Structure 1
Amino acid sequence: MLYKWAKLALTLMAGILLNGLCPPALANTTFAESASPDGGADTIPLASIALLLPLRSGPLGAAADAVRGGFLNAYERDKNGLAVTVIEAADTPGDMLAAYLAASKKYDILVGPLSRTGLTAIIQNGQVDKPTLALTQPDFSNGKEMTLPPQLLPVGLSIEAEARQVASWVGADYAPGKVFVLSTGAAWQKRVANAFVQQIQGSGLHADVMTLNLEDGVFNAGALAQLQQRIESEKPRLLFAALNADQARQIRSAVGLETPIFGISQLNPLTLNDNNPEHQIPELNGVRLLDIPWQVEADHPAVMVYPHQPVAADQRRNADLERLYALGIDAFRIAHEIAARNTVFQIDGVTGQLNISFGVGTPSFERIEPAAAYQNGIVTPLGAP
């Protein structure tokens, strides 16, 4: 059963929460709330949620802690009727699978894993019997798509999905013509470039993919000059930059302002309300991209409601960790809807407009992110793409 009656009188230890966040040392810790602490007749049923994260992982520990912070802060705002248990689950596929299978015997809803390899192990095991919100996307890099279990809903942030949304955006506004797709040999950039190219097909835009070589983070001057010559002679409608912000800055400085440049959230290393002049990138003014509301929409209703992660006064917020913190917020909101037995719903989330069908038929998940552009060296929202 999704719901089970429970009588509990849990008191959180003094000092557990600091600005709404659970300290890094806490794992396998339960947070719960009921309407009647004394166990009276008005006690409400609890849905139990297990949040499985590699909190002690070297590569993924910071990311896991960011997700947990967002998830628990969202839980603090709307905890009634729910119990959340944070479970340490190592990030190796075998350890994650073992933690998942153990948790699935005890909890109503499972949230995790965070790694693609962990999710692949769970899918291949074939024992997804409880509603499961994966915090990543399945790895289809080998070209063979796996059939997802009906109880599994991947809700992780996807740069490939962003690339497809950008392709639909420019396909509607710039066809017909040619688009230069720029990337380096980095694996994530190749995935983004491929996703864009696949989505652009049939739009009237023809994609010409170019892989540029980097040396110590710097593009070869000859390659940049050649790119500029091709732009002048072939006159592409736009450039799609499957790059990071520094790489895009080099491209922009080499080719000038005439040809529009589009990209994904990785073009934005800034965080919301970062007005430090030293962080601004005026070379990218006019470059258009997608990013989540948590990063670009200060007046978004949900963005205004949830607290941000506390950071030391001498530390700069990390954009990627902010995105994962926002993912934690929306993951809880989705789990809350599933706990309420809602099967088709929308959430105006801090990671985008979420359209979800889960619990009846084949699950579906769509995230639509707002369009944005660099203005005065910072990223500001545009209208709908």
Structure 2
Amino acid sequence: MFTGLMKMSARAALVAGLLASWAALAPNTATAADSVPLLAQTATPALPAAGVGAGNGGAVILPPGSSSEAQAEAAGLPATPAAAAPVRMAVLLPNRSGAFGAAADAVRTGLLTAYSRQKDNIQLSIIETGDSAADMQRAYDEASARFDILIGPLSRSAVTAVAQSGRVSKPTIALAQPDMAGEGEMQLPAQMLAVGLSIDEEARQVANWVEKEKAPGKIFAISTGVAWQKRAARSFQLRARQLGMQVETLELSTPSNALSAPGLAQLAKRVEQEKPALLFLALDASQAVQLRSAVGTELPLYGTSQINPFTLKRDNPNDKLPELDGVRLIDIPWQLQADNVAVARYPRPTINDNERPNPDLARLYALGIDAYRIAYGIAQQRSGFDVDGVTGRLNVNMVSGGATYFQRQETQAIYQDGWPVPTADQY
């Protein structure tokens, strides 16, 4: 049953290609197409650009290479903005036929869903671009001349390129985190917010949670050699050390697409001898099950959203992971809280009858919803505001000519009866 649960759809394979970097990532389970979380994105070779404009008259398909002026004209946007003119938003996403297609489509659907419920005085244009950072930079520069607020790019490399270009002059809601230089954070331009889901930030939030609950003793942060897992373990370690905790990172090998049996035996021996306070798992759900079987159920385990392979829209309510009961994790409300007011407001994306819900695409759909809600708040000239979002509790600050600030607080959960359930107490 569990093997069937963890298989990803053909559509998810497209997404894994997108995430060959959340720089090129190796698979963390069965194949490159089955393994990499949506939170790690990278650019791929350029493809012909195309555009879609959505103005007051609906969607308009634009030919490849259309200028932003043509896009604005096709979308019915005014050439000269007046005092009471609608706020013009442009969404920059990779085209649907490229390696980013499945991810871009999920974000696009979420954005349009939120727009349909909150469109007062907003004209929204969706501009499809090539996949490369250079393609996105050209599209961004053109759109900046015609639109008031920009949403995008989607890939980490494209966000990095735009952030470093020195040409961010309009409010920009980036849909991914920029690539970090070493262990520090990139200083974003004053008009840019990076709101993408981040496995690194999740790891830091888990460290904050652990600091409030853990017993004295060393912590082991466990990963494999996959890049996103190593980053998550490192981010947890750095934040935990800032909070005064002692953390050692341990890397397990993955022969035959599973955690190494000798490696797990060695880990179990160290756990028995050194008695760590807890383990942080920078792993996916199937790997977490393997590790739990090796170290037993007594030791507290914490992880990120990647140990939650479920969505709230379940095709088989009997699918469960009782092997992980008691394991703690954080994830976005969209994946955990059906009764959350913000979550209940929006419909679930439709999927084919023979297709399993994909949790990473679900998270990107939710990201699209919250990205639009953030842009809408900025369009209302609110310099600082909070959003009860479907991706978490959001705090946004964008002061004209001043510093920008964005923070997302995700939801704590614990596995009960094979299913991640939000905890009563949230820090």
Fold shared, TM-score > 0.5 on shorter chain = yes
Aligned partners of 1:333 and 1:128: how far apart in 2? 21
CA offsets 1:64-105 (integer angstroms, 9 cap, x no match): 000000000000001111000000011201100000000000
Aligned partners of 1:283 and 1:58: how far apart in 2? 38
CA offsets 1:318-366 (integer angstroms, 9 cap, x no match): 0000000000000000000000000110000000000111124210110
Q: In 1, are the aligned partners of 2:108 and 2:365 still within 8 Å (CA)?
A: yes
User: Are residue 334 (structure 1) and residue 374 (structure 2) matched?
Assistant: yes
- Give the direction of change, closer, same or farther, for the CA distance of 1:279–1:303 in structure 2 (3 Å limit): same
- Counterpart amino acid of residue 84 in structure 1: L
Q: What's the TM-score once normalised by structure 1's chain length?
A: 0.88
Aligned partners of 2:94 and 2:266: how far apart in 1? 45
After TM superposition, the structure 1 = structure 2 runs for residues 78-93 of structure 1, keeping only pairs within 5 Å, are 78-93=118-133
Match 1:191 to one of 231, 236, 239: 231
User: Are residue 226 (structure 1) and residue 269 (structure 2) matched?
Assistant: no
Q: In 2, are the aligned partners of 1:48 and 1:109 still within 8 Å (CA)?
A: yes
CA offsets 1:143-188 (integer angstroms, 9 cap, x no match): 4643311011111111111100000110121153111110000000
- Give the direction of change, closer, same or farther, for the CA distance of 1:141–1:187 in structure 2 (3 Å limit): farther
Partner in structure 1 of residue 412 of structure 2: 371
Shift of 1:274: 2.1
User: Are residue 355 (structure 1) and residue 395 (structure 2) matched?
Assistant: yes
CA offsets 1:170-209 (integer angstroms, 9 cap, x no match): 0121153111110000000011011100000143421111
Q: In 2, are the aligned partners of 1:179 and 1:239 still within 8 Å (CA)?
A: yes
Partner in structure 1 of residue 243 of structure 2: 203
Q: What's the TM-score once normalised by structure 2's chain length?
A: 0.80
Aligned partners of 1:80 and 1:67: how far apart in 2? 21
User: Are residue 97 (structure 1) and residue 97 (structure 2) matched?
Assistant: no
- Give the direction of change, closer, same or farther, for the CA distance of 1:220–1:9 in structure 2 (3 Å limit): closer
- Counterpart amino acid of residue 371 in structure 1: Q
- Give the direction of change, closer, same or farther, for the CA distance of 1:9–1:109 in structure 2 (3 Å limit): closer
User: Are residue 323 (structure 1) and residue 363 (structure 2) matched?
Assistant: yes
Aligned partners of 1:363 and 1:303: how far apart in 2? 26
Shift of 1:107: 0.3
For structure 1, list consecutive stretches of 5 or more residues without a partner in the other structure: 1-7, 17-21, 34-42
User: Are residue 178 (structure 1) and residue 218 (structure 2) matched?
Assistant: yes
Q: In 2, are the aligned partners of 1:175 and 1:204 still within 8 Å (CA)?
A: no
After TM superposition, the structure 1 = structure 2 runs for residues 257-272 of structure 1, keeping only pairs within 5 Å, are 257-272=297-312
Cα RMSD of the aligned pairs, angstroms, is 2.4
For structure 2, list consecutive stretches of 5 or more residues without a partner in the other structure: 1-53, 78-82
After TM superposition, the structure 1 = structure 2 runs for residues 1-385 of structure 1, keeping only pairs within 5 Å, are 10-12=56-58, 45-143=85-183, 145-274=185-314, 276-277=316-317, 279-360=319-400, 361-383=402-424, 384-385=426-427
- Give the direction of change, closer, same or farther, for the CA distance of 1:251–1:9 in structure 2 (3 Å limit): closer
Shift of 1:254: 1.0
Aligned partners of 1:309 and 1:56: how far apart in 2? 17
Aligned length: 360
